[in-house]
């Protein structure tokens, strides 16, 4: 069960709360480089309903990762862990260090939390299980990594077209706020 989720790109962290990340792609496809029509056609090709969590969802998340989006989810059941999904490990490492640093500093994540990094394109996925040092070990292993500055933005819905949300399951306009990520290494 997802406890909380985020999307991240180029220094901007989108806090989704308990909403599913696929809803964000469906509501704001242009931000991910998609059109509403493309999302509809992909779901139709898999004979799935929008925003069903199945094959079309998985393909959209991988395609978003190819466009440098990083998906972050905190799962609480059946086990408690953080999952971070992205395209290529070495290219995203500065972002990953900034993200984990921020999540710990803002008390979303704790140093002992289990961390699963899933890399879609270069098979360099890593796990930091609860018994082996966890997310704090990931930061310690990458302490010399240079990370970029991140700016704070305002209400995300003002940056996008103002049409009603695309996902029928949502059925209402919601505000999403960007969170400033400041690394405190």
Residue 73 is assigned to a structural domain of this protein: yes
Q: What confidence score (pLDDT) does residue 135 get?
A: 85
Distances (CA, A) of 124 to 14, 28, 87, 121: 25, 29, 10, 8
Residue 147 is assigned to a structural domain of this protein: yes
Q: What confidence score (pLDDT) does residue 159 get?
A: 43
What range does the domain containing 67 cover? 2-179
Q: Which residue has the tokens 């930091």?
A: 128
Residue 122 is assigned to a structural domain of this protein: yes
Q: What confidence score (pLDDT) does residue 22 get?
A: 92
The pair of structure tokens assigned to 146 is 């240079």
Q: Could you give the CA distance from residue 46 to residue 178 in angstroms, rounded to a whole number?
A: 32
Q: Which residues of the chain have pLDDT under 50?
A: 150-185
pLDDT tens digits for range 11-38:
888 888 778 889 889 988 998 999 999 9
Q: What confidence score (pLDDT) does residue 165 get?
A: 35
Distances (CA, A) of 112 to 31, 43, 64, 82, 101: 33, 38, 29, 11, 13
Number of domain units in the chain: 1
Q: What confidence score (pLDDT) does residue 148 get?
A: 57
pTM assigned to the model:
0.80
Q: What confidence score (pLDDT) does residue 134 get?
A: 77
Residue 62 is assigned to a structural domain of this protein: yes
Burial (0-12, 13-18, 19+ Cβ within 10 Å), 136: middle
Residue 185 is assigned to a structural domain of this protein: no
Residue 113 is assigned to a structural domain of this protein: yes
pLDDT tens digits for range 122-147:
988 999 887 765 788 888 888 887 76
Distances (CA, A) of 156 to 87, 116, 162: 24, 28, 11
Residue 33 is assigned to a structural domain of this protein: yes
Residue 184 is assigned to a structural domain of this protein: no
Q: What confidence score (pLDDT) does residue 167 get?
A: 34
Q: For residue 70, what are the contacts with CB-CB under 8 A and spacing of at least 6?
A: 7, 8, 9, 84, 85, 86, 92, 95, 96, 99
């Amino acid at each position: 069960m997802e406890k909380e989720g985020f999307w991240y790109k180029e220094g901007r962290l989108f806090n989704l709360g308990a909403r599913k990340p696929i809803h964000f792609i469906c509501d704001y496809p242009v931000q991910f480089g998609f059109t509403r029509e493309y999302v509809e056609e992909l779901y139709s090709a898999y004979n799935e309903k929008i925003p069903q969590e199945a094959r079309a969802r998985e393909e959209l998340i991988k395609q978003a990762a190819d466009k440098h989006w990083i998906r972050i989810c905190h799962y609480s059941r059946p086990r408690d862990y953080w999952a971070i999904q992205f395209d290529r490990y070495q290219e995203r490492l500065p972002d990953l260090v900034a993200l984990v640093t921020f999540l710990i500093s803002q008390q979303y994540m704790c140093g002992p939390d289990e961390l699963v990094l899933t890399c879609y394109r270069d098979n360099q996925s890593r796990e930091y299980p609860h018994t082996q040092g966890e997310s704090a070990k990931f930061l310690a292993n990458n302490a010399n990594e240079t990370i970029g500055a991140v700016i704070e933005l305002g209400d995300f819905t003002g940056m996008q077209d103002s049409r009603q949300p695309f996902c029928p399951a949502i059925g209402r306009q919601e505000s999403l706020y960007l969170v400033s990520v400041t690394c405190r290494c």
